[in-house]
């Protein structure tokens, strides 16, 4: 019933996991009945859950591409990376620059098992089982130091992870830690649940708390304050579909800017840079 990873953590199919619920919302295959049950509650109470998951993923993909094509940064730390899905960070990055190196970090043992099977297809990726709330452990992990040269700029990806860190766990302190331990010219991508101050997001937050004991939908101001001391790049922290949309496949290309659905306002994305 319980599967043990080679690092001694157990995969428990009787308890829902954030990574597997997210995989279910993205239409993946790595989930159990308990995860689908929670995913279905989200789909019912927050009908835009699937749209939010896809909008987030698409913004992450664009951000990786922007970093690789627009800067010299060739190394990524993907915090709370999730289960492998389509267009994982190293696939997008290496499509543009094959020398890119990516360290995936997650607490979920299933991510470790599937990640190691599916992501470590080349010597330039690693999957680290660690808690983002302990950034020192992540940074000094042998797999991290083997792949990442901290004398050179790094892209630190906080994609849909900081909303799983409660206020009393100091999410801003986690970002600050990385800011203080990477060189100038490093990039920080953040996507985050944005509070619509409506009953749906309050209800979703309650479901996350009841199920996982964590989960925080933050306001624009709260999200921006997580990036304190960093230079937030254009177009700022905006609903994920509005973050540097692709000209060619944007649904509103050539037709003026389309209205976003109410749900698409509930996930924001932004890219920041550590100035010299």
Q: Which residues bind ligand SAM (CB under 6 A)?
A: 18-19, 22, 56-57, 60, 80-82, 105-108, 111, 131-133, 159-161, 164
Taking the least distance from each CB to ligand SAM, the nearer of 10 and 183 is 10
Beta carbon of residue 115, minimum distance to ligand SAM (angstroms, whole number): 10
Residue 122 CB, nearest approach to ligand SAM (Å): 20
Using DSSP, state whether 3 is helix, strand or coil: strand
Q: Cβ distance 168 to 89 under 8 Å?
A: no
Q: Which is nearer to ligand SAM, 108 or 264 (CB)?
A: 108
Least distance in Å: CB of 160 to ligand SAM? 4
Distances (CA, A) of 83 to 48, 106, 124, 140, 146: 21, 9, 18, 23, 22
The residue (of 76 and 247) whose beta carbon lies closer to ligand SAM is: 76
- Smallest separation, CB 91 to ligand SAM (Å): 13
Report the chain's C-alpha Rg in angstroms. Answer: 18
Q: Compute how many other C-beta atoms are within 10 angstroms of the C-beta atom of residue 47.
A: 13
Q: Which is nearer to ligand SAM, 209 or 258 (CB)?
A: 209
What sign for the dihedral angle of Cα 246, 250, 256, 260? negative
Q: Closer to ligand SAM at the Cβ: 23 or 224?
A: 23
Residue partners of 63: CB distance under 8 A and separation at least 6: 157, 159, 189, 243, 244, 269, 271
Least distance to ligand SAM from the beta carbon of 9, Å? Answer: 12
Say if CB 75 and CB 147 are below 8 A apart: yes
Q: How far is the CB of 58 from ligand SAM (least distance, A)?
A: 10
Residue 189 · residue 271 · CB < 8 Å? yes
CB distance 139 to 131 below 8 Å: no
Contact between 98 and 129 under an 8 Å Cβ cutoff? The reply is: no
Q: How far is CA 121 from CA 30, 102, 219, 246, in A?
A: 19, 12, 39, 28
* CA 20 from centre of chain: 14
Least CB distance to ligand SAM at residue 39 (A): 12
- With respect to ligand SAM, which residue has the nearer C-beta, 111 or 230? 111
- 181 phi, psi to nearest 5 deg: -115, 10
Q: How far is the CB of 82 from ligand SAM (least distance, A)?
A: 3
Q: Quick one: 48 or 82, whose CB is closer to ligand SAM? A: 82
Name which of 18 and 238 has its Cβ closer to ligand SAM.
Answer: 18
């Amino acid at each position: 019933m319980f599967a043990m990873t080679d690092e001694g953590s157990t995969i428990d199919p009787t308890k829902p996991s954030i990574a597997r619920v997210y995989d279910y919302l993205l239409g993946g295959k790595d989930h159990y009945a308990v995860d689908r049950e929670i995913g279905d509650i989200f789909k019912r109470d927050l009908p835009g859950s699937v749209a939010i998951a896809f909008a987030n993923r698409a913004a992450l993909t664009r951000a990786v591409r922007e970093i690789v094509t627009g800067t010299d940064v060739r190394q990524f730390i993907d915090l709370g990376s999730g289960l492998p899905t389509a267009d994982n960070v190293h696939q997008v990055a290496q499509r543009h620059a094959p020398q890119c190196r990516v360290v995936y970090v997650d607490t979920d043992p299933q991510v470790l098992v599937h990640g190691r099977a599916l992501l470590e297809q080349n010597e330039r990726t690693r999957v680290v089982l660690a808690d983002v709330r302990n950034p020192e452990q992540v940074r000094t992990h042998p797999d991290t130091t083997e792949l990442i040269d901290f004398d050179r700029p790094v892209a630190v990806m906080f994609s849909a992870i900081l909303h799983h860190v409660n206020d009393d766990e100091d999410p801003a302190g986690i970002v600050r830690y990385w800011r203080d331990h990477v060189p100038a010219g490093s990039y920080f991508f953040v996507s985050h649940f944005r509070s619509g101050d409506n009953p749906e997001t309050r209800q979703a937050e309650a479901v996350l708390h009841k199920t996982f004991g964590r989960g925080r939908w933050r306001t624009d101001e709260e999200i921006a304050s997580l990036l304190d001391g960093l230079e937030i790049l254009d177009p700022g922290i905006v609903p994920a579909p509005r973050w540097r949309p692709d000209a060619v496949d944007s649904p509103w290309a050539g037709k003026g800017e389309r209205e976003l659905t109410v749900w698409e306002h509930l996930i924001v994305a932004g890219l920041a840079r550590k100035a010299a």
